[in-house]
Structure 1
Amino acid sequence: MTADEAWLAEVQARSFDRATPATTSSFPAENRMSGAQLAVMLHPGAYGVLATTRVDGRPHAAPTSLVLQDEAVWFPTISGAVRLANLAVHPWASLVVMRGDGSDHAVVMLEGPAEVMDSAAAEVASAAARYGREPAWATAWIRMTPEKILSYAASPDAELFRRR
């Protein structure tokens, strides 16, 4: 098990330990992803929807790519993006990544504190480049440290979990 797989699995286990009965019934144990499956869903360059809270309290959601590095999820962005102003006031974000459909659909939801970084650590850029996804256009990065991870895989052995 890689460090990312272990970390993702640990955060998910803690999340379900403190989840409400409604959450645990919506995400039955037999359909939760393993750490390895979470890492596949969150591979560098995967796309999801990042949600933040606008300064006036309204929700804001926008698509984004991502990179896992050092027990955090990094999102490339540009200076002046709405999400940066949002995080300055409400430093918390949610990410949803979905793949597949029908009996092979899967979803991962992450929530946690987020901070704006002027640049990504060299390791983040290196991880993105290894997958041919280095966003040279990014003038800022968001670093989210998930405190909550929930997952559901309709078919835990689906083709979508094959490593990229």
Structure 2
Amino acid sequence: MDTEEIWLAEVQERSFHRAGAATTSSFPVANRMTGAQLARHLSPGGYGVLATTRADGRPHAAPTSLVRHDRAIWLPSVAGAVRLANLAVNPWASLVVMRGDGPEHVMALLEGPTTVVDAATDDAAAAARRYGREPSWATAWIRLTPRKILSYAGAEALLP
């Protein structure tokens, strides 16, 4: 395993160690993804739903593309997006990345602090290179550093 795969596995292990009975029964050990499987699931080309909190406490959820880079998940965004205003007030988010149905269902839930990074910075440019295509529309990137990772892969999920 490479260092990012090890890191993903360690964050997930700590997350499940702190989890209560309801969470651990919903995410059985036999169905959790390995660090390598999480790395592939969180690769460029994936899509998820980012949840943030509005200043008045109401939730906000929106679809997003993503890329894993430098021990974080990077999400491109445009100027004026509600998610950016929300993160300016409460810089914490949840991201759900999933695909499939029934026994082929695969999902990862990540939660953690965020930083909004201007697209013109070197860090954002590095994330954009890993993204695999030029998101010329992105004026900012959201850097989500997971403190919690929970995953599930159905019995027939096609995971290498």
Which TM class, normalised by the smaller chain length?
over 0.9
Residue in 1 that maps onto 2:157: 158
* Equivalent in the alignment of 1:127: 130
- Please say if 1:90 is aligned against 2:90: yes
What per-residue deviation string (whole Å, max 9, x for no partner) do you get for residues 110-149 of structure 1? 00001111125132121112xxx33121001100100000
TM-score, reference length from structure 2: 0.94
In the alignment, the residues of structure 2 paired with residue 28 and residue 102 of structure 1 have an alpha-carbon distance, to the nearest angstrom, of 15
Gaps in structure 2 of 5+ consecutive residues: none
Per-residue deviation at 1:100? 1.1
One-letter identity of the residue aligned with 1:108: A
Aligned-partner Cα distance in 1 for 2:58–2:109: 20
CA deviation map 1:60-85 (0-9, x unaligned): 00000011111111000001100011
Distance 2:7 2:126 in 1: 17
What is the correspondence of 1:37-56 to structure 2 with a 5 Å cutoff? Answer: 37-56=37-56
- Structure 1 outlier segments of 4+, above 6 Å: none
Identity %: 67
Give the SS at the match of 1:135. coil
Measured in 1, the distance between the counterparts of 2:21 and 2:157 equals 27
Which amino acid in the other structure matches residue 135 of structure 1? P
Separation in structure 2 between the aligned mates of residue 146 and residue 62 of structure 1, nearest angstrom: 18
Q: What is the root-mean-square deviation in Å for CA atoms of aligned residues? A: 1.2
Which secondary structure does the structure 1 equivalent of 2:4 belong to?
helix
- Cα separation, 2, equivalents of 1:142 and 1:45: 16
**Quick check: 2:106–2:157 contact (8 Å CA) kept in 1?**
no
Shift of residue 101 of structure 1?
1.0
1:158 Cα deviation after fit: 2.6
Cα distance in 1 between the residues matched to 2:58 and 2:95: 16
1:8 Cα deviation after fit: 0.7
Question: For each residue in 1:28-82, what CA deviation from the matched residue of structure 2 results, as whole angstroms up to 9, or x when unmatched?
Answer: 1111000111111111121000000011100000000011111111000001100
Q: Who is 1:101 aligned against?
A: 101
CA distance in 2, matches of 1:3, 1:67: 16
Task: Report how many residues are paired.
Answer: 157
Q: 2:20 corresponds to which residue? A: 20
Secondary structure at 1:11's aligned position in 2?
helix
Distance 1:37 1:134 in 2: 26
- Whole-angstrom CA distance in 1 between matches of 2:55 and 2:9: 33
